[in-house]
Amino acid sequence: MNGVFGPARLGPVRLRNRIIKAATFEGRTPRGVVTDELIEFHRAVAAGGAAMTTVAYCAVAPEGRTERRQIVMGPDVVPGLRRLTDAVHREGAAASAQLGHAGPVSDSSSTGNAALAPSWRLNPMSMRITRAATEDDLRRIVRVHADAAWTAVESGFDAVELHFGHNYLISSFLSPRFNRRRDEWNGSTEKRARLARDVARAVRERVGDRIAVLAKFGMDDGVRGGLRPEESLTVARLLQADGALDALELTCGSSLGNPMYLFRGDVPVREFAGAFRQPLRAGIRLFGRAVLHEYLYEDAYLLPEARKFRAALTMPLVLLGGVTSRRVMDHAMVEGFDFVAMGRALLMEPDLPNRLRTEPMARSACTHCNKCMPTIYTGTRCVLAAHTS
């Protein structure tokens, strides 16, 4: 394998290097449609040297949005997305669409649609009860993922990334904690994995080899009773055996139960509280630190877990989490990862890949203060970087 800056194949797609911009919901679609600001966000990432940028978040159904200001995939959004993918391609990069169904993470008070989950539960953000998905819902969920992937093809995307993490709908089916069903969708790892596998196969069937299909896959929810690495590795093996996916991007954490587990670093309680209205604001101020646990940040913090997946699987894997320097990238390649994905570092500095190519000793100035996280409500940006809009 050549180095991180060598060309690579991702399924049917050729990429100029092995650096992927990880999905970071951009907060630039106030009416759920593509804006010039969204296009410029991704054009800048493409111009900055990454091989592929990921547009997030593209919901597969109206109730699959986390909140109302998000794109729902369908014919209406094709012209805007086509402008976006054209702009990315002009800069020599590829574009991926993160397709997801938020399931229990959806704020139904914002979307106006009841949130779906494996089993009913209270969503603490919306203070509403989620609805347990019926067989009809699940058939529809599989179909709309395939439809959304086709919309991505029509919009000029080179890849789609299926959201199988963070206790969004598919990941909550995988979780023994959130999946309390007493039917064919629970009771064993295979049954909990059925929705993920059905979705991956349906998407592949629909798109063929026109585009690459990745999944962002949770190794460990980080919540008691949730999906743990041993079981998630079994699911990953099933996905690999199905052959529908070109790569897994390894993630962790639960947007519902333990959001900071994915991010590590500081917990910006004050900034989070400021993003919400009362009484939620006061609640976050009072209980934020107790609910949002703080985890020590270190570069490549998911590597110890991801390494086990690398050892057990043969399919291409993307290393995510604290990829901030050429040293970490080179190390990921040596460890056998096929790609690296970067989130916060590219929010701060979209042209970091270009800089790392010419200055191998350089590193991201991201301090993992995580103050970018609450900016998703007002236009996602690094609060420390002067150049981000």
Q: Are the C-beta atoms of 98 and 58 separated by less than 8 Å?
A: yes
| Gap between the Cα atoms of 159 and 157, Å rounded | 6
Q: Residue 344 interacts with ligand FMN (CB under 6 A)?
A: yes
How are beta strands 122-123 and 71-72 bridged, if at all? unpaired
Least separation in angstroms between CB 22 and ligand FMN: 3
Give which of 248, 254, 191 is closest to 228, Cα–Cα.
254
Residue nearest to ligand FMN (CB): 343
Interacting residues of 4 by C-beta distance below 8 A, sequence separation 6+: 17, 18, 19, 326, 329, 330, 332, 333, 340
Q: Residue 216 interacts with ligand FMN (CB under 6 A)?
A: yes
Q: Are the C-beta atoms of 382 and 366 separated by less than 8 Å?
A: yes
**Could you give the C-alpha distances from 122 to 79, 111, 128, 171, 256, in angstroms and in order?**
37, 16, 6, 17, 10
| Gap between the Cα atoms of 246 and 360, Å rounded | 29
Q: Residue 322 interacts with ligand FMN (CB under 6 A)?
A: yes
**Could you give the C-alpha distances from 149 to 26, 154, 247, 322, in angstroms and in order?**
20, 9, 16, 29
* Nearest residue (CB) to ligand FMN, 87 versus 320: 320
Please pick, among 168, 261, 297, 301, the residue that the annotation labels catalytic: 168
Interacting residues of 290 by C-beta distance below 8 A, sequence separation 6+: none
Q: Residue 138 interacts with ligand FMN (CB under 6 A)?
A: no
Of the candidate residues 321, 333, 337, 349, the single one contacting ligand FMN (CB under 6 A): 321
Query: Is 297 noted as a catalytic residue in this protein?
Result: no
Q: Residue 262 interacts with ligand FMN (CB under 6 A)?
A: yes
* Nearest residue (CB) to ligand FMN, 278 versus 378: 378
Least separation in angstroms between CB 382 and ligand FMN: 9
Q: Residue 248 interacts with ligand FMN (CB under 6 A)?
A: no
Of the candidate residues 19, 88, 211, 342, the single one contacting ligand FMN (CB under 6 A): 342
Interacting residues of 88 by C-beta distance below 8 A, sequence separation 6+: 42, 43, 45, 46, 53, 94, 95
Count of residues of this chain found to bind ligand FMN when the rule CB under 6 A is applied: 24
Mark 30-59 with x for binding to ligand FMN (rule: CB under 6 A) and - for no binding: --------------------------xx--
Interacting positions 96-115 with ligand FMN (CB under 6 A): 98
Q: Residue 10 interacts with ligand FMN (CB under 6 A)?
A: no
CA–CA–CA angle 254, 377, 145 (5° rounding): 55
* Nearest residue (CB) to ligand FMN, 56 versus 144: 56
Least separation in angstroms between CB 135 and ligand FMN: 27
Q: Residue 169 interacts with ligand FMN (CB under 6 A)?
A: no
Give which of 127, 114, 122, 213 is closest to 164, Cα–Cα.
213
Q: Residue 265 interacts with ligand FMN (CB under 6 A)?
A: no
Q: Residue 376 interacts with ligand FMN (CB under 6 A)?
A: yes
Q: Determine which helix (DSSP H) or strand (DSSP E) holds 340, and give its type and residue range.
A: strand 339-342
Instruction: List, by residue number, the catalytic residues.
Output: 168
Residue ranges that bind ligand FMN, judged by CB under 6 A: 22-25, 56-57, 98, 163, 216, 251, 262-263, 320-323, 342-345, 372-373, 376, 380
